[in-house]
């Protein structure tokens, strides 16, 4: 990675983030630690931390761990003040074994990494509509999971219910079963009776399912509206649905310009082949890294195109004829799809920025 250059007046900060307390460190132009200190995770704490860092000199940049979780608040605060922020990844295990681990050492390691430009990436800004999209999508995912658990519990309870209940319910379709159970009016005072207890439990589970079903539907409307506003061209592409488009937007972030090329986007999505050559053997292996949710979205798009698009079907047929397995051919297809959609995302981001500048 290209090393950053700083002049003799500059200093670099590093922060080890936690839920209630952040530990900060500062290094000078020779990568020597000037000081460490702890600050609360509040707006006043962020302000005090920034003032403390600047007391050592001109703050060039700050390396922060976990900018998507514990460090998200500090990231937003520093970005609003115009400070360059780098996300610092996990330290090398060999170095950690030699030096040990505590909060102060982790903060110093973050500062060293930001100084040298190693183990650092440009973080997502997390202050725009895509961050709102991410929050809604996370909420939807948990609602879908809870709805599925409720349905499984209903099905399990029906199987073990007394005969007079099971005979009524066992042959119903899913939604008819749910609505029938939700419409029951069991005697709530009769919970000591086994049959009445089953009625109460099944009604409760059915109402929970319907509430979650409505919640998912409401979230789908919001997610669709954001995707239509941010990237209408993305969902117009073959086999790109709103769920897949939302995930790719989230993976790229509010600032997709942090991705240097379409190859870096493919690597981020885990669809770029990894060189695994040695000597005369030249080969590539499957990339099992990257954002697995983005990889899943690209896989869904690839399967959809394989069913709907004649050019995609011809491409897979040609790859299989060359000796590749069908799964390997689909992996190649995902790499091409990542390239195509990356340029759609970048183009749309430029249009949004130009519109904001014009207003």
Q: pLDDT tens for residues 294-341?
A: 999 999 999 999 999 999 999 999 999 999 899 999 999 999 999 999
> pLDDT band at 284, cuts 50/70/90?
confident
Residue with the larger pLDDT of the pair 355 and 195: 195
DSSP state of 69: T
CATH number of the 10-121 domain: 3.30.420.40
| CA 283 to the chain's CA centroid | 30
Summarize pLDDT for 249-277 with one digit per residue, the tens: 999 988 888 888 999 999 999 999 888 77
Dist CA 198 CA 159 (whole Å) = 11
pLDDT value at position 5?
Answer: 45
In this model, does residue 113 exceed pLDDT 70? yes
CB 96 within 8 A of CB 141: no
Summarize pLDDT for 58-101 with one digit per residue, the tens: 999 999 999 989 999 999 999 999 999 999 987 767 766 777 78
Six token digits for residue 306: 């394989």
Q: Is the dihedral of CA 57, 58, 59, 61 positive or negative?
A: negative
Residue with the larger pLDDT of the pair 43 and 285: 43
Q: What is the mean pLDDT of residues 187-208?
A: 96
Dist CA 223 CA 220 (whole Å) = 5
pLDDT value at position 288?
Answer: 84
Dist CA 211 CA 32 (whole Å) = 57
Dist CA 45 CA 286 (whole Å) = 44
Phi-psi region of 126 (alpha: psi -120 to 50; beta: other; left: phi over 0): left
Domain ranges of the chain: 10-121, 129-230, 233-358
Q: In sequence order, what are the residues at sequence separation of 6 or more whose Cβ sits closer than 8 angstroms to the Cβ of residue 262?
A: 338, 339, 342, 343
Phi-psi region of 33 (alpha: psi -120 to 50; beta: other; left: phi over 0): beta
In this model, does residue 346 exceed pLDDT 80? yes
CB 190 within 8 A of CB 172: no
| CA 69 to the chain's CA centroid | 11
In this model, does residue 3 exceed pLDDT 60? no
pLDDT value at position 260?
Answer: 84
Mean confidence (pLDDT) of the chain: 90
CB 266 within 8 A of CB 339: yes
Dist CA 132 CA 64 (whole Å) = 22
Q: What is the mean pLDDT of residues 161-183?
A: 93
Q: What is the mean pLDDT of residues 110-117?
A: 93
pLDDT value at position 198?
Answer: 96
Specify the pTM: 0.84
Identify the CA nearest to 257 among candidates 346, 190, 336, 324.
Answer: 346
In this model, does residue 54 exceed pLDDT 90? yes
pLDDT value at position 2?
Answer: 36
Rg (CA), the chain: 27
Dist CA 296 CA 288 (whole Å) = 12
Dist CA 292 CA 64 (whole Å) = 23
In this model, does residue 6 exceed pLDDT 60? no
CB 333 within 8 A of CB 315: yes
């Amino acid at each position: 990675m290209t090393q950053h250059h700083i002049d003799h007046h500059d200093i670099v900060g590093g922060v080890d983030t936690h839920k209630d307390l952040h530990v900060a460190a500062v290094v000078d132009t020779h990568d020597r630690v000037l000081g460490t200190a702890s600050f609360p995770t509040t707006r006043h704490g962020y302000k005090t931390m920034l003032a403390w860092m600047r007391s050592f000199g001109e703050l060039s940049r700050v390396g922060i761990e976990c900018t998507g979780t514990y460090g998200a608040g500090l990231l937003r605060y520093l970005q609003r003040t115009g400070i360059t922020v780098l996300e610092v990844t996990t330290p090398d295990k060999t170095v950690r074994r030699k030096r040990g681990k505590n909060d102060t050492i982790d903060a110093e390691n973050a500062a060293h990494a930001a100084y040298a430009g190693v183990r650092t990436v440009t973080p997502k800004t997390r202050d725009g509509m895509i961050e709102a999209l991410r929050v809604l999508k996370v909420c939807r995912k948990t609602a879908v999971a809870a709805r599925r658990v409720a349905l499984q519990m209903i099905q399990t309870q029906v199987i073990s219910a007394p005969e007079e209940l099971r005979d009524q319910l066992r042959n119903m379709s899913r939604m008819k079963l749910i609505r029938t159970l939700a419409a029951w009016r069991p005697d709530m005072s009769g919970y000591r009776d086994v049959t009445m207890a089953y009625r109460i439990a099944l009604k409760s589970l059915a109402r929970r399912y319907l509430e979650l079903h409505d919640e998912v539907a409401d979230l789908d409307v919001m997610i669709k509206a954001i995707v239509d506003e941010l990237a209408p061209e993305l969902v117009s592409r073959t086999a790109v649905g709103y769920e897949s488009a939302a995930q790719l937007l989230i993976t790229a972030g509010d600032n997709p310009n942090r991705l240097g090329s379409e190859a870096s986007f493919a690597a981020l999505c885990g669809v770029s082949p990894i060189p695994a050559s040695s000597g005369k053997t030249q080969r590539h292996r499957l990339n099992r890294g990257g954002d697995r949710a983005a990889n899943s979205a690209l896989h869904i798009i690839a399967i959809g195109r394989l069913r709907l698009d004649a050019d995609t079907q011809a491409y897979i047929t040609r790859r299989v004829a060359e000796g590749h397995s069908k799964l390997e051919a689909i992996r190649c297809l995902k790499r091409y799809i990542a390239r195509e959609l990356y340029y759609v995302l970048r183009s749309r981001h430029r249009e949004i920025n130009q519109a904001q500048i014009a207003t």
